[in-house]
Amino acid sequence: MIIQRIGSTEGLKDVFGVKVVPVISLAVVHNGIVSTCGVTAEPTGDVKVQTKKVLASIDGLLEKAGTDKSKLLTAHVWLADMQDFEEHNSVWNEWVDRQNPPVRACVQTPLWRPNILVEIMVTAAQ
C-alpha cells in the first residue's frame, strides 16, 4: 500500500493570523485517487477573488499529484454566506472542465478565519 503525501502544514507558525495550525497534508494520493485538504485563500478580496485563488491553488496541488481538473470526481464547497453563491459559481463555471464536471456539494458554514469567504476540497483520479 503506497500513500503519497504532497505538502504539509508542518512547521507553519502563522497562517492568516492563526498561531497554531493543524498538521495536515495538502494532498494525499492512494490507489490512483487524489484528495486535497480544504483550500482557502488569504482573507482579502471578495468571493470571486478568493475563489480564483483557491482554484489556482487546487490546480497546483493536482499538478503535483500528476492529474488535473479534467479528472475531478468530487468537490465540496463551503461558503461563509450563501448570498455569494452566484458570484462564486460564475468563477467556478469559468474554471471547471465542462466536458468532465465533478459532482459537487455547496453549503454555508462559518469558516475558520474572519473574512475567508470560500473553502474548497476536491478528489480526483490520477
In the structure grid, which three cell numbers stand for residue 29, read together?
494520493
Residues of the chain with pLDDT under 70: 12-21
Residue 50: CB partners within 8 Å, gap ≥ 6?
Answer: 40, 41, 42, 44, 116, 117, 118
Which structural domains are found in the chain, ordered by start?
Answer: 3-125 (3.30.1330.40)
Nearest alpha carbon to residue 37 among 6, 12, 64:
6
56 phi/psi in degrees, rounded to 5: -65, -40
In the prediction, which pLDDT does 8 show? 84
Is this structure's pTM higher than 0.85? yes
Residues of the chain with pLDDT > 70: what percent? 92
Cα-to-chain-centroid distance, residue 64 = 14
